[in-house]
């Protein structure tokens, strides 16, 4: 009887053991999240007397054969940050705005070869202030014609002079009468202005006799073909440079 009961008890235990082995045959993973564990570990490491807490590595004992799954790092979504432009640097980096285009000179005043039937000898400069043309008389009944700016009303003149001096990129010393006249209009002229691209006399100057008049270049080429000067004959810089190379001191100049 005892042997029968013992056999029955063993038979009952065997299925339970098999079930236990089946239940833990595949052990569940152990999930460790650094984001959740770190605060608790820090709280358990209180330093005495308020001393700073130093982090130390926490080792977990995991049974051999157990699988460890680490929770994925949290996804951080980045928002696009719109930064307002810096007006100072934006202006510096932006391309420069185009300048307003200056008035254009009428093409009729560009240099060209024309017929000449006047009485002046070759090599003479003839200036027609009404038509706003300067002629350099040449051999064979021709002349090289340039457009010029002439004296405005009250400042035009007529006569004959000779070139007494030539200068490249001349300095400008306004006469006392001009300084006083412009001051009355509220404009202050310099006592002297060195030669250069901004100088009203431009690239070249041909001085006429002992007068204050000159044939010279300009920093305002769009005024060629107009009566705008204080008596001088102005030309485009490229044109006065061309004329400068063709004439010499002593050349006769006729202004009509």
For residue range 180-236, what is the model confidence (pLDDT) as tens digits? 988 998 989 898 999 999 999 999 999 999 999 999 999 999 999 999 999 999 999
Percent of the chain with pLDDT over 90: 52
Q: Is residue 217 part of a domain?
A: yes
Q: Is residue 58 part of a domain?
A: no
- In angstroms, the CA 230 to CA 133 distance is 17
Q: Is residue 215 part of a domain?
A: yes
Nearest alpha-carbon partner for 212 in 124, 151, 153, 254: 151
Of the listed 7, 89, 192, 232, which one is catalytic?
A: 232
Of the listed 7, 89, 192, 216, which one is catalytic?
A: 216
The residue-averaged pLDDT of 147-170 equals: 96
Q: Is residue 98 part of a domain?
A: no
Nearest alpha-carbon partner for 131 in 121, 145, 115, 120: 145
pLDDT score recorded for residue 40 = 46
Q: Is residue 204 part of a domain?
A: yes
Q: Are 68 and 32 in contact (CB under 8 A)?
A: yes
* 133-138 sheet: strands from edge to edge: 112-115, 142-147, 133-138, 125-128, 252-255, 159-168, 204-208, 214-216, 233-234
Whether 98 shows a pLDDT value over 50: the answer reads no
> pTM of the predicted model, to two decimals?
0.60
Residue 189's domain comprises: 107-255
Whether 158 shows a pLDDT value over 90: the answer reads yes
Confidence of residue 86 (pLDDT cuts 50, 70, 90): very low
Q: Is residue 56 part of a domain?
A: no
- In angstroms, the CA 150 to CA 157 distance is 9
Q: What angle do CA 4, 7, 12 make, to 5 degrees?
A: 125
State yes or no: is 192 an active-site residue: no
Nearest alpha-carbon partner for 254 in 164, 162, 165: 162
Q: How far is CA 256 from the centre of its chain?
A: 48
Any idea how long the chain is? 256
115's CB contacts (< 8 A; 6+ apart) are 141, 142, 143
State yes or no: is 232 an active-site residue: yes
Q: Is residue 50 part of a domain?
A: no
Three-class HEC string of 42-103: HHHCCCHHHCCCCCCCCCCCCCCCCCEEECCCCCCCCCCCCCCCCHHHHHHHCCCCCCCCCC
128: domain CATH number? 2.40.440.10
**How many other C-beta atoms can be found within 10 angstroms of the C-beta atom of residue 235?**
29
Q: Is residue 154 part of a domain?
A: yes
The residue-averaged pLDDT of 121-145 equals: 98
């Amino acid at each position: 009887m005892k042997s029968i009961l013992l056999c029955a008890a063993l038979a009952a235990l065997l299925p339970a053991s098999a079930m236990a082995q089946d239940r833990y045959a595949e052990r569940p993973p152990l999930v460790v999240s650094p984001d959740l564990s770190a605060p608790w570990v820090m709280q358990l490491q209180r330093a005495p007397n308020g001393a700073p807490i130093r982090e130390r590595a926490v080792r977990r004992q995991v049974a051999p054969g157990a699988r460890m799954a680490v929770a994925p790092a949290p996804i951080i979504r980045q928002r696009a940050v719109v930064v307002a432009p810096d007006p100072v640097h934006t202006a510096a980096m932006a391309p420069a705005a185009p300048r307003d285009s200056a008035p254009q000179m009428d093409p009729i005043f560009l240099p060209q070869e024309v017929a000449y039937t006047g009485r002046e000898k070759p090599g003479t400069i003839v200036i027609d202030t009404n038509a706003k043309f300067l002629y350099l008389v040449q051999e064979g009944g021709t002349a090289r014609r340039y457009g010029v700016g002439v004296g405005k009303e009250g400042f035009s003149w007529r006569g004959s002079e000779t070139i007494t001096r030539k200068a490249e990129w001349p300095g400008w010393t306004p006469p006392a009468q001009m300084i006083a006249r412009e001051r009355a209009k509220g404009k202050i002229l310099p006592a002297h202005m060195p030669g250069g691209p901004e100088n009203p006399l431009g690239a070249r100057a041909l001085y006429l006799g002992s007068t204050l008049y000159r044939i010279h270049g300009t920093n305002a080429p769009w005024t060629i073909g107009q009566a705008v000067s204080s008596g001088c004959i102005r030309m485009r810089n490229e044109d006065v440079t061309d004329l400068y190379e063709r004439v010499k001191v002593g050349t006769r100049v006729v202004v009509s």
